[in-house]
Structure 1
Amino acid sequence: MLLDRFPRVSLSHAPTPLEPLDRLRSVVGGPRLWIKRDDCTGLAQGGNKARKLEFLVADALAQGCDTLVTPGAVQSNHVRMTAAAAARFGLKAHAVLERRVPDTDADYEENGNILLDDLFGCARSYVPGGSDVAAACAAVADDLRAKGAKPYVISGGGSNPVGALGYVACAVELLDQASQRGITVTRVVHGTGSSGTQAGLVAGFAALRSPVEVFGVSVRHPREKQEGMVFDLACRTADHLGHGGTVQRERVFADDGYVGPGYGQPTRGMVDAVTLLARTEGILLDPVYSGKAMAGMIDHIRRGTFGENEHVVFLHTGGSTSLFGYKHLFLGAPDQDVARLRP
């Protein structure tokens, strides 16, 4: 009932699985570990953006738009899924790709998400790193209007109050799954970037009066900036829901200790976390978001941040397609031993 009044299309295979991570726990110890498999949403190899796009595409269709315009980094999961959603509903898509990651190679520029963008028929233009991508998207939209199109501009990551509704829905879904399993989830850990996933979860749990804590691991911004972005969007999402005033600032947390050199730039901890989950659970993370988030969660487990009796859920936001843009980092993986990655 929380979301019934909002237009929505069907793009995801929900509810996504909630699975135990018992073999990972046997290596890292700590609390009961679970994984919410939003890499299994189905659209274009899966990922968290499918939930957001259900509300964003519905809004675009309600406004009679025919082209989706959105920004992202070159290996953007959001762009890939937006392009696929556009194809599903007979729309066109145009991506403004920011060269946000320095010193990339041919795999990064031509493989992974870029390959799939091409398959989905997504037009694209490029801007330098640090550009005002919102202004660049507005310019593309103006050009499309001049040519007779009706563009719908989606902010980076689908992170606005409409898109964040997708993770309000996820909050509802997760609590229902936990109830069915007879467990009490205490925390949800995930990678936070454009802020829409975390803001939606925070707003959703607040509206439901749930004490679940959302533990964001920043993949780009310093803690103060990231938490400010999340809090602002969570408040605006709560207002959009009709539950204004329910989000408390102290419920917003983002650890910036695992970003490394910058957005999309690898860290040893990320490589080890991706390898460890592949070797223990047969699950593929991505090098930009979920890999760094898993590195953060493992480090906090080893530091004793989480109690052993807690039920901690790792939200897998998808993106393993981008592994093909970073293959040089993992070519030595067959020679690695899980025992080396134990504490």
Structure 2
Amino acid sequence: MPGLDEFARFSLLEGPTPIQRLHRLEQEIGEVLKGVRLFVKRDDLMGLGGGGNKLRKLEFLMGDALAQRCDTFITTGGIQSNHGRLSAAAAARAGLSCELVLTRVVPRDDEEYRRNGNILLDGILGAKVHELPATANALTFAKERATALKAEGRRSYVVGLGGSSPVGCLGYAICAREVAEQEKAVPGGFARIVIPNGSAGTHAGLAAGFAALRMDPAKVRSFTISAEAEDARRTTLDLARATLTDG
């Protein structure tokens, strides 16, 4: 996929993350596996901001923001958003201001949930946090905030939930290339790649990447964690197609 290297990209990873076989889990599950081997890709071992696969999207989102000479990165999520935390970390690394528009989508209002974990790290990493009720349209607020900053002479880069834009999904197209290379060292390869599907970006990017490699994108299977199955399927397919055509 030589075309991927033409896109603006800001390095946030220290190289490919390892794929490890889960021997003990296989032993625990036992004979019901019928010889199926289980592996996990350790994107939790990324160093920046506590690690996590959202950094893959942010390499291209930050690259695009810098290419457009933006000085502020604005994105959305829930109060304890991993994407929000890593956006704050990536923006700090890139020298950009970061604003997070976070909605209270989880029915919890205790002090531990509202002030610890990711929301605490967001502040430590220098992000300005806007907390909104669950019914608020976070993306609309983010765009309005960008307009207000423009009036002050600032230039903002706005991306929605999970950073799941065609540009962000390029990070998982790169991941597909990474997995395909690592798969060569695994006898028999991988029959399935199984992931959760929230904002659809991981699945869409991987599927687009495998399609670009002339490999079967259907080997990627996901379990929707927020949307109805049919809605998630449609969103993922549309985003995968946009990643392939627009990038």
TM-score (norm 2): 0.94
From 203, 207, 219, the equivalent of 2:225 is 219
Letter in 2 for 1:37: R
Aligned to 1:167: 172
Q: Is 1:235 paired with 2:241? A: yes
Q: Which residue of 1 aligns with 2:28?
A: 27
Counterpart CA distance in 2 for 1:14 and 1:182 is 23
Matches within 5 A, 1:35-184: 35-184=40-189
Residue number among 195, 205, 214 corresponding to 1:209 in the alignment: 214
What is the distance in 2 between the residues matched to 1:172 and 1:198? 14
CA deviations on 1:146-182 (whole Å, 9 max, x unpaired) are 2221111022111010000000000000010010333
State how far apart, in whole Å, the 2-side matches of 1:10 and 1:91 are: 14
CA distance, structure 2, for counterparts of residue 89 and residue 52 of structure 1:
14
Output the amino acid matched with 1:24.
L
Identity in percent = 46
Task: Tell me, yes or no, if the aligned pair for 2:201 and 2:236 is still in contact at 8 Å.
Answer: yes
Q: Which runs of 5+ in 2 are unaligned?
A: none
Is 1:186 aligned with 2:210? no
* 1:190 positional shift: 1.1
Q: Which runs of 5+ in 1 are unaligned?
A: 242-343
CA distance in 2, matches of 1:79, 1:42: 16
3-state secondary structure, aligned to 1:75? coil
Listed one character per residue, the Cα deviations across residues 109-138 of structure 1 (whole Å, up to 9, x for unaligned) are 111101110110100112211322211110
Per-residue Cα deviation, 1:26-74 (whole angstroms, up to 9, x for no partner): 1123110000011122220111111111111011001110000000000
Residues 266-320 of structure 1, C-alpha deviation per residue, up to 9 Å, x if partnerless?
Answer: xxxxxxxxxxxxxxxxxxxxxxxxxxxxxxxxxxxxxxxxxxxxxxxxxxxxxxx
Map 1:249-268 → 2, pairs under 5 A: none
Single out whichever of 130-139 and 112-121 deviates more from structure 2: 130-139
Tell which deviates more after alignment, 61-70 or 211-220.
Answer: 211-220
- Structure 1 runs of 4+ aligned residues shifted over 3 Å read none
Q: Aligned partners of 2:109, 2:18: CA distance in 1, in Å? A: 34
Query: For 1:169 and 1:162, how far apart are their aligned partners in 2?
Result: 12
Structure number with the higher helix fraction is 2
Amino acid at match of 1:222: E
- Paired residue total: 241
Determine if contact 2:123/2:129 at 8 Å carries over to the other structure. Answer: no
Q: Is residue 2:204 matched to residue 1:199?
A: yes
| In structure 2, distance between residues paired with 1:227 and 1:216 | 9
Verify the 8 A CA contact 2:61 2:167 in the aligned structure 1: yes
SS in 1 for 2:57: helix
Corresponding residue for residue 9 of structure 2: 8
CA contact (8 A) 1:69 1:93 kept: yes
Which residue is 1:319 aligned to? none
| Cα offset, 1:183, TM superposition | 3.6
- Separation in structure 2 between the aligned mates of residue 13 and residue 190 of structure 1, nearest angstrom: 22
Name the CA distance, whole Å, in 1 between partners of 2:108 and 2:54: 27
1:228, CA displacement in angstroms? 1.0
Q: Is 171-180 or 96-105 further displaced after alignment?
A: 96-105
AA partner of residue 52 (structure 2): G
Tell me how far apart the structure 2 counterparts of residues 198 and 130 of structure 1 sit (CA, whole Å): 27
